[in-house]
Amino acid sequence: MKDIKIKRICAYVIDIFIVLILVTLLSQINVLNPYKKKYDKAYEKYTEFYEENFSENTTIDYDTLKSPEYLDIMHDLSYYSISYSIIEIVVIILYFTLFPLLFDGQTIGKKICKIKLSSDKGKLTFGSLLIRVLFYPIFTNIILYTTLSNILTLLCVILFKGKIYFYSNLIISIIATIYFLLIIGKPKNKHITIIKKATSSSVYIDILFMINKDVSIHEKLSHTKVELIKGV
């Protein structure tokens, strides 16, 4: 069991590295990411606002965080990163569904680590793999989320502004946090503290749920599991 968990971690790191490279390359294409220049300008505006209001303050001014100016800046940052978010969502979904579907349950990472996905119901289907990836914890750009929560956040950016956007986004974050806590459960492994010190907090959470759970929520929902390749 320890062997497969180590292999899962290694496969995960390889796959996420590949996904990050693909997303980064595709987001540099102007046709696919037309808001890139506007995002850069919005980020400059955010930097100026931050330096004026937060750089010298040791305590957080919550009135400033709820001010219309700040909420508009944060919404613009999210709105002009829509193209990037869509690219990221599409790449993640296609990578973690098509590869296992076409290559006997294996992504590139799983192929290298000699493990694969299998289904409790026999053959892997696009539907089961899609459910798995929607509820699977993903770590990119120092953010931990599920693909589903990222899609909901994207919809909030498109549909809402101001305080409605702020609170709807906050609700999604709270629900996602509760979901991660359910995934992780109570730590069992005495070596977890070593992993925590060696990695960022987000990567730590990802690795922890792999070590701590034999079958995670996303595996139960999709009726899938990771197994060693026979004869290896």
**Over the Cα atoms of the chain, what is R_g?**
20
pLDDT of residue 178: 75
List the one residue out of 228, 7, 2 whose CA is nearest residue 118: 228
> Which residues sit opposite 137 in a β-bridge?
146
pLDDT of residue 191: 42
Low-confidence ranges of the chain (pLDDT < 70): 1-2, 55-62, 138-145, 180-216, 231-232
pLDDT of residue 95: 94
pLDDT of residue 15: 92
- Residue holding tokens 């702020």? 166
pLDDT of residue 18: 93
Q: What's the predicted TM-score (pTM) here? A: 0.74
What is the amino acid identity at position 194? Answer: I
Q: Strand, coil or helix: what is 125?
A: coil
pLDDT of residue 201: 42
Residues 133 and 97 sit within 8 Å (Cβ to Cβ): yes
pLDDT of residue 226: 85
User: CA dihedral defined by 16, 20, 23, 27, rounded to 10 degrees?
Assistant: 160
